[in-house]
Amino acid sequence: MANPSTGKDRKPLPKAKPGEVVLLSGGNPQIAKGYGDAPVQAYIAAMPDWKSDVGRRIDSLVVQAVPNVRKAVKWNSPFYGAGGENQGWFLGFHCMTKYIKVAFFKGASLDPLPPVGSKQKDVRYLHIHEDGRFDEVLFVDWVKQASRLPGEKM
């Protein structure tokens, strides 16, 4: 099928067989959009290699920091929100080839700032690499701060 913006043929997305998860570029699992814990746990279980263990740790720390957190998978990434459905989302993560990219959607308002900037002025990132090490105390603090800010509507 031709891409309307470039006129070039684009490759169709891979299709999963029943019970199989397709890994997209960077090893990111292709998980159907869904709300609640189940799709997030399916995403985490499908994360390749070391990333699944880190994904479980991220999820556990977010739940520890925000016990009534809302969860969803959208655009093949887990999202976390605080408050009601209209409050938006404060955090998401995504598998990249060599790291997990944790996005704080209002990260520019956190103190101290998460280490990686973005083209979007409000967004800041934390990259977690294969060694799986990151400052969990600081991460929980960022999650608590982020959960109290107005979330992103997505």
Specify the pLDDT at position 108.
97
Whether the bond into 112 is cis, omega within 30 of 0: yes
Condensed to tens digits (0 to 9), the pLDDT of residues 27-63 reads 889 999 999 999 999 999 999 999 999 999 999 999 9
Confidence tier at 75 by pLDDT (50, 70, 90): very high
pLDDT at 5 exceeding the cut of 60: no
103 phi/psi in degrees, rounded to 5: -105, 125
CB atoms within 10 A of CB 104: 26
Q: Is the pLDDT of residue 12 over 60?
A: no
Supply 29's token pair.
């699992």
pTM: 0.84
Binned at pLDDT 50, 70 and 90, residue 23 comes out as confident
CATH code of the region 25-147: 3.90.1150.200
Task: At 95, give phi and psi (nearest 5°).
Answer: -80, 125
Of the candidates 90, 76, 79, which has an alpha carbon nearest to the alpha carbon of residue 47?
Answer: 76
Report the C-alpha gap between 99 and 141 in whole angstroms: 21
Asked if the model's pLDDT at residue 100 lies above 90, the reply is: yes
